[in-house]
Amino acid sequence: MRVRHKPWAKDKLAEYPNIVVTNPTKHYGEWHQIFENNHPIHLEIGTGKGGFITEMAKAHPDSNFIGIEMHDSVIVSALEKCLDLSLDNVRLLNVDARELADFFAESEISELYLNFSDPWPKNRHEKRRLTYHTFLAQYEFVLEKGGRLNLKTDNQGLFEYSLESFSRYGLTLDNLSLDLHKSDFPLNVLTEYEKKFSDMGHRIYRCEAIFGK
Ligand code: SAM
């Protein structure tokens, strides 16, 4: 993904520590205290510009949402959306998800979302795919029993790879769609990439993988 560099992004993120949480390892096991409630915590990895997480947070005020995005020039758009919508149930982490199990305690997360993750098509980059088994092991740790990973992508290769990876890991698949926008899946919240790719005529794939533990 090409990222337009915004030299002011870091300073802007630092202005809102109540939304952009720095040093997430410090809050391991204490995320409900950060939100000051006991509502379930939903986590999106690779939040991008935040269209999905902010719409979800608006639609579900009784849930908490955390978005992880490693590029400051991108996540700053998610911050702007949180500010515009005055959302108090979103927190943003400008970090790499590879460290996930250092940020969240066992079973601290209720539901997880991977939307239009980078496909990393070359075999030698397999380990970077967010559905590689080392990531699944971290998701298993942080998700509560029966927690779901919700995956959407327009990339057929990544989708097929992910289904295989889920199945090899022993996860149960549910609500699988090979053409989400032509299916009867209720209340789909679009992401920025989803809008773009769907307007270009790409088919959108979706599935849920359940971690039984
Ligand atoms: N989810 C958004 C959407 O659907 O519009 C953005 C999709 S974009 C193709 C993928 C995003 O995931 C990028 O912004 C990238 O920086 C982020 N990303 C990829 N790997 C990541 C990682 N290991 N940790 C945090 N963010 C990551």
| CATH code assigned at 103 | 3.40.50.150
Q: Which amino acid is at 155?
A: N
Ligand 1, atom 7: closest residue by C-alpha:
116
Are residues 118 and 128 in contact, defined by beta-carbon separation less than 8 angstroms?
Answer: yes
Query: Which residue is catalytic, options 62, 102, 118, 179?
Result: 118
C-alpha to C-alpha distance for 180 and 161, rounded to whole angstroms = 18
Residue 40 has pLDDT above 70, yes or no: yes
Contact criterion met (CB below 8 Å) for 24 and 95? yes
For position 4, what pLDDT does the model report? 85
Confidence check: pLDDT of 2 > 80: no
- Helix (H), strand (E) at residue 197: helix 192-199
Beta bridge partners of residue 148, listed in sequence order: 111, 210
User: What does the pLDDT average to over 82-92?
Assistant: 98
Q: Is 118 a catalytic site residue? A: yes
Say if 10 falls within a structural domain: no
Rounded to the nearest angstrom, the distance between the alpha carbon of 117 and the centre of ligand 1 is 6
Q: Which domain holds residue 61?
A: 41-210
* pLDDT exceeds 90 at position 187: no
The residues that bridge with 109 in the sheet, in sequence order, are 143
Q: What is the domain count for the chain?
A: 1
Atom 19 of ligand 1, residue of closest alpha carbon: 46
Q: Look up tokens 């809008």; give the residue.
A: 195
Q: Which residue in 143, 141, 144, 179 sits closest to 159, CA to CA?
A: 179
Confidence of residue 1 (pLDDT cuts 50, 70, 90): low
Nearest residue by C-alpha to atom 27 in ligand 1: 46
Instruction: Answer yes or no: is 171 within a domain.
Output: yes
Residue 66 has pLDDT above 80, yes or no: yes
